[in-house]
Structure 1
Amino acid sequence: MAYFPFFIDIQDKHCLVAGGGAVAYRKVRVLLSFEVYITVVAPVICKELKDLAKTEDRLILLEREFQATDISQSFFVIAATSNSTVNETISTLCKQANTFVNVADSKEKSNFLFPSIIKRGDVVVGTSTSGNSPDVAKWVRTQLEEALPDYVAELTENLGKYRSIIKERVESETARKKAFKELLCLGRKAEGKVEDAMFEQVLKDLEDWNEN
């Protein structure tokens, strides 16, 4: 069964990561780029996580065994311990509490999947094989990374500045779509740069198009 890619705002939400090894570290690194507050709990925590915590105020490390009360303030939970029994316990507790949980080695025990992610500014692409093959998900991500231009984040940010203005100044839905498309083409040619002069030219072209 294919899983639906449900994009959700997790900024300033609280996440619990159970496990202190390489898998936990990789997931923590990704999540921090989305400005999440993360608590890692594990009896042994790897050096990479400890080093990361020195520079990340949003990351708290608790070097001890997982406790059932750890999930109480969490919006979502990642179970990434090396103990399948502990992971299953975490899964059960989260589901009973209606809390999102991802068990790193078991899609059956998860109620959401952690995709292979590309993040360039506000452009986010998540690839998933619905838990069937993480290697395929990574391969697809690599193909997409190679296809995306380096300026995609700058282009997206710049186009976003003009989106609301176009909605205010252009009444026709057809004309709006034309304006967005033309501005995108100009921005791509300029490798991400979108300036007021380009925007005004697009509006002028629209006026000429409407007259015809």
Structure 2
Amino acid sequence: MAYFPFFIDIQDKHCLVVGGGAVASRKVNVLLSFGVYITVVAPVICDELKELEKEEARLILLEREFQTTDISQSFFVIAATSNATVNEAISVLCKQANTLVNVADSRENSNYLFPSIVKRGDVVVGTSTSGNSPDLAKWVRTQLEEAIPDYVAELTASLGMYRDVIKERVPSKEKRKEAFKELLYLGMKAQGKVDDTMLEKVLKDLK
């Protein structure tokens, strides 16, 4: 059964990551770009995370064993230790507390999956094989990374900025659709650049 891809606002939410190795580090790096507060708990924490903590105020590292009370303030949890028994125990605790939990390499113990992500500003594409083949998910992500240009981030921000202007100045729903499509087309041609001149051209052409 395929998993449904919810897109959820996790900015300023609290995440607990149990484990301090390479897997934990990869997930932490992705999550920080979404504005999450992260606490990492592990007896040994890798140098990459220690360096990242110096730069990221939202990241806290606790070099100690996991404690059951650690999950109490967490919106979601990632269990990424090298001990399957510990990971499973964390999963049980989280499910009992109705807390979202992802266990690395164990969809059976997870109630959400961590997708393979392509992010260009506010454009986010998450791919998943429902845990069947992480390598395939990574391959799909690579294809998307090559297909989606970097300028999409700037283009998305600009289109969002002009969206309200168009809605205010164009009463007709059908005309607004035309305007949105035309502005997108012009922005794509200009490799992400959208300005007032383009907007006025689009609005003039509608008349």
- Given the two structures, how large is their TM-score scaled by the length of structure 1? 0.96
| Counterpart residue number, 1:188 | 188
1:171 positional shift = 2.0
How far apart in 2 are the matches of 1:95 and 1:168?
46
The amino acid of 2:190's aligned partner reads A
Once the two structures are superposed, the pairs formed by residues 57-206 of structure 1 within 5 Å of their partners are: 57-206=57-206
Letter in 1 for 2:166: I
Runs of 4+ in 1 over 3 A off after TM superposition: none
Task: State the 1:19 CA deviation.
Answer: 0.3
Paired AA for residue 194 in structure 1: V
State the 1:120 CA deviation. 1.2
State the partner residue of 1:210.
none
Deviation of 1:89 (Å): 0.8
Q: Could you state the TM-score of these two structures normalised by the residue count of structure 2?
A: 0.98
Corresponding residue number in structure 1 for 2:24: 24
**Amino acid across the alignment from 1:30:** V
CA-CA distance at 1:145 after TM superposition: 0.7
Distance across 1 between alignment mates of 2:199 and 2:62:
52
CA–CA separation in structure 2 for the residues paired with 1:44 and 1:120? 33
Distance apart, 1:139 and its partner CA: 0.4
Once residues 136 and 26 of structure 1 are traced to their aligned partners in structure 2, the CA distance between those partners, rounded to angstroms, is: 18
User: Can you list the C-alpha shifts for 1:46-84, whole angstroms capped at 9, x where unaligned?
Assistant: 111111111111111111111100000000000000111
AA aligned to 2:163 is R
Letter in 2 for 1:76: F
Which amino acid in 1 is paired with 2:67? Q
**AA aligned opposite 1:5:** P
What is the distance in 2 between the residues matched to 1:137 and 1:174? 38
Q: Deviations over 1:140-173 (max 9, x none)?
A: 0100110111211011111111111111221222
1:176 is displaced (CA, Å) by 1.1
How far apart are residue 34 of structure 1 and its match? 0.7
Secondary structure in 1 aligned to 2:107? coil
Q: Does the residue aligned with 1:30 lie in a helix, a strand or coil?
A: helix
- Aligned with 2:61: secondary structure? strand
Query: CA separation in 2, counterparts of 1:2 and 1:22?
Result: 27
Structure 1 gap ranges (5+): 208-212
What is the letter of the counterpart of residue 71 of structure 2? Answer: I
Query: Matches of 1:19 and 1:85 in 2, distance apart?
Result: 13
Q: Provide the rounded CA distance (Å) in 1 between the counterparts of 2:28 and 2:92.
A: 22
Q: Give the aligned CA root-mean-square deviation in angstroms.
A: 0.7
Shift of 1:206: 0.8
SS in 2 for 1:17: strand
| Residues 159-207 of structure 1: per-residue CA shift (max 9 Å, x gap) | 1111111112212221111111000000011111111111011111111
